[in-house]
């Protein structure tokens, strides 16, 4: 949001741009870039803009219902992450960064790595002028814990994942 405030570019387009910046970092860390990585970078941002334009997510007037909706959304994200990362067609830019850092820090729980990434993004956003509220803080700390629990429950070790690159997928076709 901070980037959107500063540049007057839509939040979704900022998500796309930042996704490609993170893909460059992933590439530098030698994490494979697959079709899933590229599609995620583009589609997440475009869907964010579409959802904001259509105004289909209700604003919660009750803080407890808002927190519940936030946490349920995070559970859905974590379960969805398991399914799409398991396909091995390349995970999204931020998840690929999480995988790359997880491989380099094998003793650090993946939930802590995800929390570190989200916390870094929170600080950058705040420095760029984004608002930080209770939902933002819950989201940053909650996603790592929920992701760790979900992956443990599903016996998914993201640090051992081997994704297919775009070249590998094209070759297999």
Q: To the nearest whole percent, how much of the chain has pLDDT over 70?
A: 100
- Least Cα distance to 115 among 138, 96, 132 occurs for 138
How confident is residue 5, by pLDDT bands cut at 50, 70 and 90? confident
How confident is residue 35, by pLDDT bands cut at 50, 70 and 90? confident
Q: To the nearest whole percent, how much of the chain has pLDDT over 90?
A: 64
Tokens of 156: 């998914």
- Least Cα distance to 158 among 92, 85, 107 occurs for 85
Q: Which helix (H) or strand (E) holds 150?
A: helix 134-153
How confident is residue 1, by pLDDT bands cut at 50, 70 and 90? confident
Distance of alpha carbon 159 from the chain centroid: 16
Give the mean pLDDT of 140-161.
91
């Amino acid at each position: 949001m901070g980037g959107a405030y500063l540049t007057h570019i839509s939040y979704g387009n900022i998500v796309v741009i930042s996704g490609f910046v993170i893909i460059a970092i992933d590439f530098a860390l030698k994490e494979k870039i697959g079709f899933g990585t590229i599609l995620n970078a583009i589609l997440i941002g475009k869907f964010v803009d579409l959802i904001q334009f259509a105004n289909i997510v209700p604003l919660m007037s009750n803080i407890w219902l808002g927190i519940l909706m936030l946490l349920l959304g995070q559970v859905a994200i974590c379960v969805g992450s398991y399914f799409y990362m398991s396909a091995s067609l390349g995970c999204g830019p931020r998840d690929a960064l999480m995988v790359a850092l997880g491989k380099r820090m094998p003793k650090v729980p993946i939930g802590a790595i995800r929390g570190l990434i989200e916390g870094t993004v929170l600080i950058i956003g705040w420095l760029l002028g984004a608002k930080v509220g209770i939902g933002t803080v819950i989201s940053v700390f909650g996603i790592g814990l929920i992701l760790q629990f979900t992956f443990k429950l599903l016996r998914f070790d993201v640090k051992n994942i081997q994704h297919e690159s775009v070249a590998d997928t094209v070759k297999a076709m």
